[in-house]
Structures are given as structure tokens and as C-alpha cells.
Amino acid sequence: MISPQALGALRVAATLTHGLPGLRARVRLGDEVLFDVLATDRDGHPVDLDGRVVSPCAFRRAVAHAHRCHGAGAVHPLLHLPAGADPIIDLTAPPTGAVRPGGLYRVPLPDRWLWALAVTLDAPTAHLAGADLVDAAMPIAGVQTLGIRPDPATEVSVAFAETTARPGSDEEADLVELLESLLARWTVHELVEGPDVSSGARDPRR
């Protein structure tokens, strides 16, 4: 059985790979690759890659099931991981995307960019904890959408921003500074207070 910390990392990875187009994950034990998480083509076949491949949807379902079992005190052999082994998860952005230290990701969308990060806090808690940072930083040029979206399956909250700011621009740097500040604030909150998850949080975009 993996540790709660490792399960939390899997929940975050499953939520991000499911929600961010082109984001890939590799789950490994040391140098041994257990499986890769990446999207399928229009026919449902994994894109070209050697080795074991899991789709983002299947990965999210498996992690969500393991999370529910853990919450009920049951043991779940998550994707056949060896007992007592904590996996390492490597996330990779698509071409023209970016991965920043700490867990901040950029992926391309048509005519804009999507930045995102994920935490195991519930969305209302994350909003309250970071509201002052957002109020102090906004408005930021190029930002079209900024919000927090809960994933009820994994009980992870995703903070996201859609922007037209070009990679490397001053406008992008301002947005990254805000998102990294939020990530730091929420990480401290998780460490001090512990995760406070809720599947009933509302999507702020609806």
C-alpha cells in the first residue's frame, strides 16, 4: 500500500493529465518505468510509445478508486503497484508547453495558453487562502480566465489561467509570479493544516 503522500501526488497527476491537453505522466519505481499516461488517438488507440500505456481517463478512474478505498480504510492495489512502494511521477508538457519547479504547467490551446497547478485542498479553502494574492496582482494583461475548478473524483482542486501572453513576455512573467505565489501559499496550507477536501465545491466557471 502506498503512503498518503504518494497517493496525493498520484491524485494531482491524474487530475492534471486528465484536464491539460497533451500533458503526459510517467510513473516509475526508481529507474523502472511502470507505465506512461498519455492521450489516445481518435480511434481510441494509444499514440506511438513503447511500453505500457494508460489513458488519462483510465488513470484518473484508477486513482479516484484508490482514493475512495483509502478513505474507507480499505487497501487497493493501485494499478498493480508493488506493496509498500511509493512511485515517482514525472510530468512532461507537450511541445511549446512548459514545466516549472513545484508543479506549474503550461500547455498550448488554440490562440492562447493554459497555465495550471493542482492541490489537494478543496476549492473554497484554496480560494479563501489565496484571494488576497489574486486581488493584489490582478488585472494582468492577457489573462482571459482565472479560476479554481474542483475534480470531485480525485478531490483535487485545479487553479487555471488562460492567457494570450506570449511565452517569455513580461505579461506571462506577471501571471507566473501570481501562480507560483498561490502554489507556495497552498503548499504551506497543506503542510500546516492538512488537506481539506470536498467533492461539493462549485466550478467557478459555471
Q: Which residue has the cell 494582468?
A: 140
Of 1, 13, 2, residue with least CA distance to 156: 13
Of 99, 100, 104, residue with least CA distance to 117: 104
In the chain, what percentage of residues exceed pLDDT 70? 83
136 phi, psi to nearest 5 deg: -75, -30
Q: What is the pLDDT of residue 196?
A: 41
Using alpha carbons only, what angle is made at residue 110 by residues 107 and 113, rounded to the nearest 5 degrees?
A: 35
Q: What is the pLDDT of residue 51?
A: 59
CB 180 within 8 A of CB 119: no
Which pTM does this prediction carry? 0.84
| Structural domains in the chain, sorted by start | 4-92 (no CATH), 98-193 (3.30.70)
Question: What is the torsional sign of CA 161, 167, 173, 176?
Answer: positive
What digits encode the pLDDT tens for the residues 15-29? Answer: 999 999 999 999 999
Q: What is the pLDDT of residue 52?
A: 81
Residues of the chain with pLDDT under 50: 195-206
Full strand arrangement of the beta sheet holding 143-151: 98-100, 104-109, 112-119, 156-163, 143-151
